[in-house]
Amino acid sequence: MSEIKVITNMLKVNEEINVQNRRMLTEKGVYTINLMSAPGAGKTSILEKLISRLKGDLRIAVVEGDLYTTKDAQRIEAHGVPVVQINTEGACHLDASLIKDAIDSLNLNEIDLLIIENIGNLVCPAEFEVGEDIKVMVSSTTEGNDKPLKYPLMYEKSSAIILNKIDLTEFTNFDKQEFYKDVKSINADAVVFETSCTKDSGIDEFCLWVKNKIDENKAKGC
Ligand code: MG
Ligand code: ZN
């Protein structure tokens, strides 16, 4: 079989399992976010902040994708929510079948919000739907403002873009105007939140947006 055929087949299989996951999660009333970013942008820190704010209102569970370690899962577990760890042993993204195994091990009847922390990588996590309702990405000022044009797919597919480490902007040559202009050219519908986890800013706005998304989804009856 040619390489092209293998890849097409892989994406086809992924899409089938994505649809199954999505159906299962929807049936159980679980709202699911696929959280993506480059390594070190702040996914886990954002997640910790979100959990501590929303866990009183929503039953939250987390799937932690990581290449080799359980470091992030331990941080999340400390917040008292169920965590399933997936170690990909070097594979650079999560796919639908890995998420299928993870959700099989969770009690979906007791979850309102499932967050999947994907592998730190700006490329292929955006290519594999895993059963999520929406994708959210974290982009940080220290990565530079050129990332939307260099890695457009993730920006294009994300409903919200969290611009993190906003407190460090003055120490970088990050050009906010350029960033917003490029994001808009790729995805005019994306909502952008400026956050700092160390200064604890912008997180409330993001959490409110997530809550509204869940409410809207419930109102639609799905
Ligand atoms: Mg992390
Ligand atoms: Zn990959």
CATH code at position 74? 3.40.50.300
Q: What distance in Å separates the CA atoms of residue 193 and residue 18, rounded to the nearest whole number?
A: 28
Q: How far is the CA of 174 from the centre of ligand 2 (A)?
A: 27
Ligand nearest to the CA of 164: 1
- Which ligand does the CA of 48 lie closest to? 1
Q: How many domains does the chain have?
A: 1
Q: What is the mean pLDDT of residues 7-32?
A: 95
129-145: buried (b, 16+ CB within 10 Å) or exposed (e) per residue? Answer: bbbbbbbbbbbbbebeb
Confidence of residue 222 (pLDDT cuts 50, 70, 90): low
* pLDDT value, residue 24: 98
Q: How far away, in angstroms, is 184 Cα from ligand 1 center? A: 26
When pLDDT is averaged across residues 192-211 and rounded to a whole number, the result is 98
Q: Which ligand gives the minimal distance to the CA of 47?
A: 1
Question: Are 117 and 41 in contact, with CB atoms under 8 Å apart?
Answer: no
Burial class (CB within 10 angstroms; exposed 0-12, middle 13-18, buried 19+) of 207: buried
Q: What is the pLDDT of residue 171?
A: 97
Whole-number Å distance, alpha carbon 51 to ligand 2 midpoint, is 27
- Taking the centre of ligand 1 as the mean of its atom positions, its distance from the CA of residue 4, in whole angstroms, is 32
- Tokens encoding 133: 């309702």
Span from the CA of 84 to the centroid of ligand 1 (angstroms): 14
Alpha-carbon distance of 31 to 212, in angstroms, equals: 12
Distance of CA 166 to the CA centre of its chain: 19
Q: What token pair was written down for 163?
A: 């611009």
Residue 101 sits in which domain range? 2-219
CA–centroid distance, residue 30 to ligand 1 (Å) = 22
Q: What is the pLDDT of residues 146-192, one digit of tens each?
A: 999 999 999 999 999 999 999 999 999 999 999 999 999 999 999 99
Q: What is the pLDDT of residues 121-149, one digit of tens each?
A: 999 999 999 999 999 999 999 999 999 99
Residue 221: pLDDT band with limits 50, 70, 90: confident
Ligand 2 centre and the CA of 16: distance in Å?
Answer: 18
**What is the separation, in whole angstroms, between the first and last Cα of the chain?**
40
CA of 92 relative to ligand 2 center, distance in Å: 4
Mean pLDDT of the chain: 96
